[in-house]
Amino acid sequence: MPRKLGIVMDPIEGINIKKDSSFAMLLEVQRREWEIFYILVNGLHLQDGQVLANAQSLTVFDDAQKWYELADKETVDLGSLDVVLMRKDPPFDMEYIYVTYLLELASKQGVLVVNRPDSLRDCNEKLYTAWFPQCCAPTLVSRKLSDFITFLSEQEDIVIKPLDGMGGKSIFTVHAQDRNRNVVFETLTDHEQRFAMAQRYIPEIKEGDKRILLIDGEPVPYALARIPSDQDARGNLAAGASAQGIELSDRDQWICQQIGPELKDRGLIFVGIDVIGEYLTEINVTSPTCIRELDAIYQLNIAVIYLMSLRTN
């Protein structure tokens, strides 16, 4: 009897299949003849203790002209599925948190939810790095402008970013003599009403912001180095960075050894960490990407490893 998998994601008509990790997962699920149910956030609802979804049976094609086909909507009890993949992109707002509550209830009714909903709530992709200070460059999280001014004076060059962004959104590099520093701090903290994160600027960003994928706590042996363009300091593909595959360094492997067991314990089965030079900068747990790029460069099938890990969880 085929297994049943639900995937909560952004609208499938808007994805780029050459870069979309959720799509890579779906292709492999389909090869295994699992039944796939496509679910949007606005289709989830709770009634009398049951978590239900207005879902559609999904067929996918590795074809840039036609990559999906959807059946009519039907009501599906999430507790009747074998696996639910939570692959909704941020923003990580209250609506996202409400979804994790619904998925946590579904998981208590027997379905495996990946990544684990309570860990999605607990492990902020920026702040969670603080649990591994031995892996990180000097870091400050605060709302106070005076704290950022002092930190900038100590570090001379810093990167500052919001705690809820993705894809390089609102990331600033600030230098000690930058006359715009105060307005940057005011903007990101909303005049001391919101927390922001500052990290010491790591010059090795010029060699790339390395995305390393960990599956059930174990790293894929290659990383995707996202190299900033000449016009932008950010190592994000969405900000125009170019991609290059590289083998993990000894330091990369050590960082993975430091954090891998904790990720596994928290049910964070598929995670993408960001490493610049020798330092961990982010731990991406919501909907990490780069499967398709690494597959193409190294003739891998990372989704196979991922799906095999689900059998042991």
Catalytic annotation, pick one of 88, 116, 126, 181: 126
- Rounded distance, CA 216 to CA 49, Å? 30
- Rounded distance, CA 18 to CA 281, Å? 26
> Is-catalytic flag, 282?
yes
Catalytic annotation, pick one of 161, 200, 264, 292: 161
Catalytic annotation, pick one of 216, 282, 292, 293: 282
> Is-catalytic flag, 144?
no
Catalytic annotation, pick one of 181, 200, 211, 292: 211
Q: Which residues are CB-neighbours of 137 under 8 A, at least 6 positions away?
A: 199, 200, 202, 279, 281
Catalytic annotation, pick one of 181, 226, 264, 266: 226
Parallel, antiparallel or unpaired: strands 270-276 and 50-60:
unpaired
Is residue 115 reached through a cis peptide bond, with omega within 30 degrees of 0 on the bond before it?
yes
Q: How many CB atoms lie within 10 A of CB 236?
A: 18
> Is-catalytic flag, 274?
yes
| Ordered DSSP codes for 82-140 | SEEEE-PPPP--HHHHHHHHHHHHHHHTT-EEES-HHHHHH--TTGGGGG-GGGS--EE
Collapsing DSSP states into helix, strand and coil, what is residue 146?
Answer: helix
Q: Which residues are CB-neighbours of 217 under 8 A, at least 6 positions away?
A: 260, 261, 263, 264
> Is-catalytic flag, 200?
no
- Rounded distance, CA 276 to CA 60, Å? 35
Q: Give the angle 84-31-67 at the CA atoms, nearest 5°.
A: 80
Parallel, antiparallel or unpaired: strands 112-114 and 83-86:
parallel
Strand-pairing partners, residue 38, are 7, 56
Catalytic annotation, pick one of 20, 209, 252, 274: 274
Catalytic annotation, pick one of 88, 200, 234, 264: 234
Q: Single out the residue of 97, 94, 152, 163 nearest to residue 129, CA to CA.
A: 163
> Is-catalytic flag, 3?
no
> Is-catalytic flag, 82?
no
Catalytic annotation, pick one of 210, 216, 284, 293: 284
What is the helix (H) or strand (E) element at residue 313, kind and residue range?
none
Question: Which residues are catalytically annotated?
Answer: 126, 161, 211, 226, 234, 274, 282, 284
